[in-house]
């Protein structure tokens, strides 16, 4: 049947029988033939998309995840003739073990999954509760599971003929937002009947986002038993060559950092922008977070805090790298008091931002 599914009538897993279509009118009021294939339509879907996480911390799950991630040409732009042997003969042989141990240090053992998956699921569930029956909310990962293509199909199966794609990256980068959309577009290329699709834009300077980050920092600082001399706003880095090729990521990160600093009333000396997580020998965006942390400690700074406003959910790069590695760098070089202020995650502040973005981009649809 050609069934228009009203928000309050759809139940997950509800069966639609082809023979029930006899005598049911189509979208234009014309009766459909009894043999018409079952079709659901009339709903709006929202798909939250984040980076991804391995399915386990042992060698082979880590290898599969790293292979998918590091094979993405949006992420690694090194010519294939050079990169393929490096990746398959060296990196994927040596890196899964140490990286798996890093993931194990932040792993959600109760659910047997990475924290990024736990938090993104929570964001999806809370957004669904906030939106009610007006939309169907789902979530997917660019690398690993749940797969983008399968979740788009799941939304279609529930009658979603319009879908809003929401890359959970405040700042746009080809290696994050673009590659997430690439996966969605690849799925659409295989569909005879594509849904109508919108993509939410980056929100690096959105006032609701800036205020949420600023408030989370205020609340985080209020909980400390010391006052930081310096606060670093650490963003994930990318190779400098990506900036020179026209990627707007660096400019958007710097603007986010400035707006947060101005909202808090801090000086440029007290609140600084840095970039973390570089990989390989190529020059990346500077200043580097780890080098800045060590230099501050050596210069006599004793009290330091770090926040990661470019991440919508805590993950390996924040929990293990910032709160773990950089804490050690600071203390080993003379620092005494260190604090990592968590991401917005699925907190009330975090959900206020996501819901604001989604409702804004759904205008005209719901």
In a domain, 18, yes or no: no
Annotation-wise, does 236 bind a ligand? yes
Tens of pLDDT, residues 104-137: 999 999 999 999 999 999 999 999 999 999 899 9
Q: Residue 29's pLDDT band (boundaries 50, 70, 90)?
A: low
> Under 8 Å CB-to-CB from 30, ≥6 apart: which residues?
none
Same domain, 192 and 214: no
Same domain, 305 and 259: yes
Lowest mean pLDDT across 30-39, 56-65, 117-126, 285-294: 30-39
Tally of domains within the chain:
2
Same domain, 171 and 307: no
In a domain, 25, yes or no: no
Distance CA 172, CA 236 (A): 12
Same domain, 52 and 155: yes
Tens of pLDDT, residues 242-285: 999 999 999 999 999 999 999 999 999 999 999 999 988 899 99
In a domain, 268, yes or no: yes
Tens of pLDDT, residues 129-186: 999 998 999 999 999 999 999 999 999 999 999 999 999 999 999 999 999 999 999 9
- pTM higher than 0.85: yes
Cβ distance 205 to 87 under 8 Å?
no
How many other CB atoms are found less than 10 A from the CB of residue 200? 20
Same domain, 57 and 148: yes
Distance CA 66, CA 212 (A): 33
In a domain, 10, yes or no: no
Same domain, 219 and 183: no
Same domain, 192 and 322: no
Same domain, 145 and 223: no
Annotation-wise, does 317 bind a ligand? yes
Cβ distance 323 to 234 under 8 Å?
no
Reference 311, options 279, 260, 345, 341; nearest CA is 345
CATH number at residue 58: 3.40.50.1400
How many other CB atoms are found less than 10 A from the CB of residue 52? 23
Same domain, 183 and 271: no
Domain that holds residue 146: 43-203+348-362
Question: Is the pLDDT score of 14 beyond 90?
Answer: no
């Amino acid at each position: 049947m050609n069934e228009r599914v009203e928000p309050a009538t759809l139940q997950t897993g509800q069966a639609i029988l082809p023979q029930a279509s006899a005598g049911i009118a189509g979208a234009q009021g014309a009766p459909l033939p009894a043999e018409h294939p079952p079709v659901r339509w009339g709903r709006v879907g929202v798909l939250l998309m984040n980076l991804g996480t391995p399915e386990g911390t042992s060698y082979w799950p880590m290898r599969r995840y790293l292979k998918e991630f590091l094979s993405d040409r949006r992420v690694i732009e090194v010519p294939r003739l050079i990169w393929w042997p490096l990746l398959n003969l060296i990196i994927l042989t040596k890196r899964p073990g140490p990286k798996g141990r890093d993931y194990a240090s932040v792993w959600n053992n109760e659910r047997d999954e990475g924290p990024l998956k736990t938090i993104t699921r929570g964001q999806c569930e809370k957004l669904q509760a906030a939106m009610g029956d007006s939309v169907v909310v789902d979530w997917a990962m660019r690398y690993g599971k749940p797969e983008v293509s399968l979740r788009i199909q799941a939304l279609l199966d529930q009658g979603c003929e319009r879908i809003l794609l929401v890359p959970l990256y405040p700042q746009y980068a080809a290696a994050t937002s673009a590659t997430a959309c690439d996966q969605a577009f690849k799925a659409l290329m295989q569909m005879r009947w594509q849904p109508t699709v919108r993509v939410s834009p980056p929100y690096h300077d959105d006032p609701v986002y800036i205020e949420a980050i600023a408030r989370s920092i205020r609340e985080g600082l209020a909980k400390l038993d010391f006052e930081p001399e310096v606060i670093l706003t650490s963003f994930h880095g990318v190779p400098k060559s990506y900036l020179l090729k026209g990627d707007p990521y660096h400019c958007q990160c710097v603007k986010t950092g400035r707006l947060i600093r101005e909202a808090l009333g801090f000086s440029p000396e007290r609140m600084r922008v840095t970039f973390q997580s570089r990989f390989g020998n190529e020059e990346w965006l500077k200043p580097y977070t780890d080098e800045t942390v060590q230099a501050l400690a050596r210069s006599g700074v004793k009290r330091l805090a770090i926040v990661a406003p470019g991440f919508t959910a805590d993950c390996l790069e924040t929990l293990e790298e910032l709160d773990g590695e950089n804490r050690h760098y600071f203390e080993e070089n003379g620092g005494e008091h260190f604090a990592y202020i968590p991401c917005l995650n699925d907190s009330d502040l975090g959900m206020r931002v996501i819901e604001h973005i989604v409702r804004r981009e759904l205008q005209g649809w719901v």
